[in-house]
């Protein structure tokens, strides 16, 4: 016959009821320990993060010339010479190389000649280093606008400038038939980057 347990009394460890409660308590405590251990394991690490940033900007190639109107010459007769200083500026942020091509209209453009020198002591003295030997104004050129370095190309560092002296002449041998004629000339400067452009 089984012993009855009065209400409010704790079952003896020897009783089936006491052993059952003790087993359930052991299971609950065991699961709690496993869960707590797993939680402690997942949280017990040191961490850190670092980041670096970068900014980028592309360079510019920007050639400019002054004055915008290099020559305004009238009433030239054979033997006349006119000289003009032309400033070429690299307004960009990267080194460039540049070339010149010239077009001049009408028969007079084929008769006028162009010579170019560096500044020297001044364009009036015209004693600088030769850049372009005397040649017909129409078609006068130095360097080449084709990509890559070419013979005669000139280089300018970023934010640098140079002065070239342009001398235009009407040769003494000019034919009498050119009296009263006119010509307009355009000097075109083509620039390209020097870096990574062999």
Give pLDDT, residue 10: 47
Element (H, E) at 38: helix 16-43
Q: What is the pTM of this model?
A: 0.75
Average pLDDT in the 3-21 region?
Answer: 52
Q: Is residue 31 over pLDDT 90?
A: no
- pLDDT class for 69, splitting at 50, 70, 90? confident
Left, alpha or beta for 95 (phi > 0: left; psi -120 to 50: alpha)? Answer: beta
> What's the mean pLDDT when you consider all of the chain?
86
> What is 63-193's CATH number?
2.60.40
- Whole-angstrom Cα distance, residue 82 to residue 137? 13
- Whole-angstrom Cα distance, residue 155 to residue 160? 10
Give pLDDT, residue 164: 97
Give pLDDT, residue 5: 47
pLDDT, one tens digit per residue, over 141-187 is: 999 999 999 999 999 999 999 999 999 999 999 999 999 999 999 99
């Amino acid at each position: 016959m089984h012993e009855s347990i009065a209400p409010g009394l704790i079952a003896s460890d020897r009783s089936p009821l006491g052993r059952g409660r003790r087993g359930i308590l052991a299971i609950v405590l065991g699961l709690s320990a496993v869960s707590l251990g797993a939680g402690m394991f997942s949280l017990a690490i040191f961490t850190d993060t670092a980041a670096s940033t970068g900014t980028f900007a592309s360079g510019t190639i920007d050639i400019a010339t002054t004055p915008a109107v290099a020559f305004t010459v009238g009433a030239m007769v054979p033997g006349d010479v006119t000289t003009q200083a032309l400033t070429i500026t690299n307004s960009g942020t990267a080194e460039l190389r540049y070339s010149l091509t010239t077009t001049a209209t009408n028969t007079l453009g084929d008769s006028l000649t162009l010579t170019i020198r560096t500044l020297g002591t001044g364009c009036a003295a015209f004693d600088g280093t030769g850049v372009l030997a005397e040649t017909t104004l129409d078609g006068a050129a130095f360097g080449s606008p084709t990509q890559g370095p070419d013979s005669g190309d000139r280089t300018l560092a970023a934010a640098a400038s140079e002065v070239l002296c342009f001398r235009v002449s009407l040769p003494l041998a000019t034919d009498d038939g050119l009296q009263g004629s006119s010509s307009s000339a355009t000097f075109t400067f083509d620039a390209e980057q020097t870096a990574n452009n062999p």
